Amino acid sequence: MTDAQAKEEEKEMAQSISYITGSQLLSLNSSPNIAIVDVRDDERSYDAHIAGSLHYASDTFSDKIPNLIQDVKGKDTLVFHCALSQVRGPSCAQRFASYLTDKKEDVGIKNILVLERGFNAWEASGRPVCRCADIPCKGNKAKKLG
């Protein structure tokens, strides 16, 4: 592959990742086809999280992509987020997309999204959060703030 081809492929991958607003996610969150992937590191353990989200810390994310693929079997949309969704969320989403491209294996994922403004904005806007310590989160201790 030439450098030009590699850059074109990177560009295509970058275009395949879109953002979703908190409102859009809230309206889709009950869909059985969506998985929310929280890539925050230690702060998830003392902050709340989006109910039902999967936790794959960004510092070990690349090594655990095969586990994530198993955990999201049957889902067609993954929504990644970190605290602000400026670095870790988008970069993990990109790593996941690149992994799927490299594997050339159809695992059924059609949409890879990043939660716009991340968990901090989700929580600050009063959307439901969960404070359980369950792994994986079952979302049964979710409560709306305010």
* pLDDT beyond 50 at 146: no
**Does a structural domain hold residue 142?**
no
Beta pairing partners, 77: 34, 111
Residue 91 lies in a domain: yes
**Span 36-50, mean pLDDT?**
86
**Region 109-130: what's the mean pLDDT?**
94
For residue 140, what pLDDT is reported? Answer: 57
* Residue 14 confidence (pLDDT) above 50: no
In a domain, 83, yes or no: yes
H/E run at residue 122: helix 118-124
d(C-alpha 2, C-alpha 5), whole Å: 5
Amino acid 17: pLDDT: 85
CATH of the domain at 81: 3.40.250.10
Q: Which amino acid is at 82?
A: C
Q: How far is CA 11 from the centre of its chain?
A: 20
**16 vs 93, residue with greater confidence:** 93
Rounded to whole angstroms, how far apart are CA atoms 76 and 119? 21
Q: What percent of the chain has pLDDT over 70?
A: 82
Residue 74 has pLDDT above 90, yes or no: yes
| Residue in 62, 1, 30, 3 with CA at minimum distance from that of residue 128 | 30
Q: Is residue 26 part of a domain?
A: yes
In the block, residue with structure tokens 């109910």: 51
Specify the residue for token string 């908190």. Answer: 22
In a domain, 9, yes or no: no
Predicted pLDDT of residue 6 = 45
pLDDT band at 131 (very low <50, low <70, confident <90, very high): confident
| Enclosing H/E stretch for 80 | strand 77-81
- The letter for the amino acid at 134 is D
Q: Which residues are catalytic?
A: 82
Residue 105 maps to a domain: yes
Give me the domain span that covers residue 108: 14-128
**Is 136 inside any structural domain?**
no
139 in any annotated domain: no
- Count up the domains in the chain and report the number: 1
